[in-house]
């Protein structure tokens, strides 16, 4: 039963992220591009899957900061998104340290969490301006 509930929650979260239209101005909102990020940027991480997670967190945090400056997020909303993404990066790094690498299954799990964070961010910043 616990697994069924987890599956339903994960499906709902992935549906939320997928429902957000991609935006060239907000890289976090294009989930398919975010999933394709590769660590070929000369990163100091020797684990490419961990680098992938770190790069995704950087993109989400950059978009959150830009959205804050643009007045689309409050300071508390920005901090919540920033810290949630940072916690995911820390969890991935901790897991990789303990195991010696980040497995593909764990990368997928962390990607789902980042999809949820990006979905919340994008739902807020892409909503139409009400006048």
pLDDT in tens, 63-113: 999 999 999 999 999 999 999 999 999 999 999 999 999 999 999 999 999
Residue 81 covered by a domain: yes
pLDDT bucket at 61, cuts 50 / 70 / 90? very high
60 within some domain: yes
Q: Measured in whole angstroms, how far is the alpha carbon of residue 131 from the centre of its chain?
A: 30
Number of domains in the chain: 1
What does the block give as tokens for 121? 């961010």
In this prediction, residues 26-33 reach a mean pLDDT of 93
Residues spanned by the domain of 114: 2-125
Q: Residue 46 gets which letter from DSSP?
A: S
User: What pLDDT sits at residue 37?
Assistant: 87
In a domain? residue 26: yes
Q: In this structure, is residue 130 part of a structural domain? A: no
Residue 131 lies in a domain: no
Q: Is the pLDDT of residue 48 over 90?
A: yes
Q: Is 83 left (phi over 0), alpha (psi -120 to 50) or beta?
A: alpha
pLDDT of residue 46 exceeding 60, the answer is: yes
Residue 18: pLDDT over 70 = no
**Would residue 43 count as lying in a domain?**
yes
Q: Is residue 75 part of a domain?
A: yes
Phi-psi region of 23 (alpha: psi -120 to 50; beta: other; left: phi over 0): beta
Contact 59, 111 (CB under 8 A): no
Q: What is the pTM of this model?
A: 0.77
5 pLDDT higher than 70: no
Virtual torsion, Cα 104, 100, 55, 32, nearest 10 deg: 0
Q: What is the mean pLDDT of the chain?
A: 83
Residue 21 maps to a domain: yes
């Amino acid at each position: 039963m616990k697994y069924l509930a987890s599956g339903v929650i994960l499906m709902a979260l992935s549906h939320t992220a997928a429902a957000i239209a991609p935006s060239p101005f907000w890289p976090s909102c294009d989930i398919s591009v975010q999933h394709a990020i590769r660590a070929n940027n000369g990163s100091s991480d020797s684990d490419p899957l961990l680098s992938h997670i770190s790069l995704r967190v950087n993109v989400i945090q950059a978009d959150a900061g830009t959205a804050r400056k643009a007045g689309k997020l409050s300071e508390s909303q920005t901090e919540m998104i920033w810290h949630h993404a940072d916690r995911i990066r820390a969890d991935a790094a901790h897991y990789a340290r303990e195991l010696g690498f980040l497995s593909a299954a764990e990368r997928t799990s962390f990607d789902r969490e980042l999809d949820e964070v990006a979905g919340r961010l994008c739902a807020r910043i892409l909503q139409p301006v009400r006048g």
